[in-house]
Amino acid sequence: MSGEVKGSIEALPEKAEVALVGAGLVGSLLAILLAKRGFQVDVFERRPDMRKETISAGRSINLAISTRGIRALARAGMDASVLSQAVQMRGRMIHPKLSDGVAGELVFQPYGKDDSECINSISRATLNKLLMDRAESTGKVNIYFKQKAEGIDFTENRLVLEDDHGTRASVLADIVIGTDGSASRLRDEMMKRQGYKTTVSRLDYGYKELVIPPTAGGGFAMERNALHIWPRGNFMLIALPNFEGSFTCTLFLPFEGPVSFAKLTDKAAVEDFFQKEFPDAVPLIENLVETFFENPTGHMDTVKSGPWNVDGSAMLLGDAAHAIVPFYGQGANCGFEDLTVLDDCLQEHLDQGGSLDIDRQNNANWKKIFDDLYARRKVNCDAIADMAVENFTEMRDKVADPRFIMLKAVEKHLEKSLKGLYRSRYSLVSFSNAPYKVALDVGVISDEILTPLCQSIEKPEEIDLKAAEVLVKEKLTPLLKDLPALSETLA
């Protein structure tokens, strides 16, 4: 059946070659990549079409895209168009507090060794719309909106869908891929099978978004090329720039406790709290109190699951398989990297003489591809999940600590002085395609090397370079040297 009248139950196809559940960031990019390989793709999305109706884009207003995300976008020929709508963030701008109600002097901490290493802030809605437009323009992708996946029968691969009037229909699919986000329905169905497991760990912290609008002249009210952080120990405010001159602020605060969302229940409490903790942000935030009470308080989960596939006929990707907390700015980047690796698995399968034909009776080809993908990704997705939780402490607390600032400056110094030998964990995560697990291990070993060497120095240049080089060669080089993907970033 034609997919022309989308969003009504009559328009659904009876049978799909590849069915995707969820047209979010990962589902939309996946649709493009599969279409490029010649597959016919039908995407079922629970929400209305955000290009036609004004709806909230979901989990956060903007997000940071870095090297891994850009590499996947490049596979779809989308890197330049996406980056043209993004604002470069070249480092953290720290907003210290001298005392209650008194702001300290701003401190800029660069992210990379120079301005070429930056992360890119983009509106989630803009990115999602660009991806959906490109997917549809391939002529091989139909997106059906207001179609919520309610269940799946894996024996036939029959997907049960419900529209916004509660009308149900089903679609048979050769392959179903769940890109339906952290509360994935498809994952719930998979996990009913023997040997499948999901763990969900919820942070005791919530988040709330607020807005700093552009200035009267249309400019940015703060430094535009930075991610702004107000670190306050066990909570923080951050702000990411938007293309049109505004900033999206996010307050991360415990749900309960002496300083918590539970205490901010009326106008006076909110005003007091912001005035005391973020005095320089208060005059910039639009309708602070009204927005605070209007906007929802989000929660943050780490989801680890496995295996992600049922034979060769169903698979989970993106947040549906592995959701992480947002403190490394990597959730979407990691989901996009799933797609690069899937694309690699497909290509390697072809290069080894395999076929991508789909045979529902014996889908051994696709089982091999999905097993391969899971084996390559699982350990790395678990690694970034753990690093993201760890990075929360770094952002809300350590960035204001002089020893930590010294350690970061020393890392930059080593990256420059020991050319190609030293890479920090942050730089491996954000500015390379090295497996996340390697970045995790590098972080642990770097701490072991640098903590004693930094103990008695006042400036990064005072570090004993010779001793550092010996230790780096002995302990870090073995981790980094066998990575072909790293050779370009280590050059």
Ligand X SMILES: Cc1cc2nc3c(=O)[nH]c(=O)nc-3n(C[C@H](O)[C@H](O)[C@H](O)COP(=O)(O)OP(=O)(O)OC[C@H]3O[C@@H](n4cnc5c(N)ncnc54)[C@H](O)[C@@H]3O)c2cc1C
Question: Binding residues for ligand X, per CB under 6 A?
Answer: 21-27, 44-47, 58-60, 63-64, 148-149, 179-181, 185, 207, 250, 298, 318-320, 326, 329-333, 335
When the beta carbons of 60 and 142 are compared against ligand X, the nearer one is 60
**Minimum gap (Å) between residue 327 Cβ and ligand X:** 9
Least Cα distance to 76 among 123, 126, 21, 135 occurs for 135
Least distance in angstroms from the C-beta of 45 to ligand X: 5
Cβ nearer to ligand X, comparing 330 with 391: 330
Q: Residue 430 and residue 387: Cα distance in Å, rounded?
A: 12
Phi, psi of 205 (to 5 degrees): -110, 150
Tokens, residue 87: 């604002």
Query: With respect to ligand X, which residue has the nearer C-beta, 314 or 476?
Result: 314
Asked if residues 266 and 179 have their Cβ atoms less than 8 Å apart, the reply is no
Minimum distance of ligand X from residue 442's CB (angstroms): 20
Q: Rounded to the nearest whole angstrom, what is the least distance from the CB of residue 468 to ligand X in the complex?
A: 32
Please, what is the Cα angle at 48 between 47 and 49, to 5 degrees? 120
Nearest distance from C-beta of residue 455 to ligand X, angstroms: 34
Smallest distance from ligand X to CB 348, Å: 24
- Rounded least distance, CB 459 to ligand X, Å: 32
Q: Where are the alpha helices (DSSP H) in 235-359?
A: 267-277, 288-294, 331-351
Bridge partners for 21 per DSSP: 44, 178
Q: Nearer Cβ to ligand X, position 144 or 422?
A: 144
**Biggest distance spanned by C-alpha atoms of the chain:** 72
* Contacting residues for 172 by C-beta, under 8 A, at least 6 apart: 14, 15, 16, 156, 157, 158, 159
Do 67 and 431 contact (CB within 8 A), yes or no?
yes
The residue among 307 and 318 lying less far from ligand X, judged by its C-beta, is 318
Radius of gyration of the chain (CA): 23
Question: Quick one: which of 246, 243, 241, 19 has its CA closest to 142?
Answer: 19
Q: Side-chain half-sphere of 294: how many Cα atoms within 13 Å?
A: 9
- Quick one: 47 or 97, whose CB is closer to ligand X? 47
Nearer to ligand X, 429 or 463 (CB): 429
Q: Least distance (Å) from ligand X to the CB of residue 350?
A: 26
Residues 6 or more apart whose Cβ sits within 8 Å of residue 354: 365, 368
Give the 3-state secondary structure of residue 43. strand
Nearer to ligand X by Cβ, of 30 and 442: the residue is: 30
> Residue 460 Cβ, how far from ligand X at the closest point, in Å?
28
Which two three-digit tokens encode residue 79? 């890197």
**Cβ–Cβ contacts within 10 Å for residue 423, how many?**
28
Q: Which is nearer to ligand X, 142 or 363 (CB)?
A: 142
Task: State the nearest-atom distance from the C-beta of 465 to ligand X, in Å.
Answer: 35
Instruction: Estimate to the nearest angstrom the gap between the alpha carbon of 22 and the chain centroid.
Output: 16
What residue is closest to ligand X based on CB?
A: 24
Q: Prior bond to 307 cis, omega within 30?
A: yes
Sign of the CA dihedral 55, 57, 62, 65? negative
Give the nearer residue to ligand X in terms of CB position, either 315 or 476. 315
Q: Half-sphere exposure of 50 toward its Cβ, with a 13 Å CA cutoff?
A: 23
Residue number, 167 or 451, with CB nearest to ligand X: 167
Query: 42 pairs with which residues across the strands?
Result: 19, 142
Backbone torsions φ then ψ of 454, nearest 5 degrees: -95, -5
Nearer to ligand X, 199 or 487 (CB): 199
Shortest distance, CB of residue 466 to ligand X, whole angstroms?
39
Shortest spacing between CB 221 and ligand X, in angstroms:
20
* Residue 45 near residue 143, CB atoms below 8 Å: yes
Residue 134: strand, helix, or coil: helix
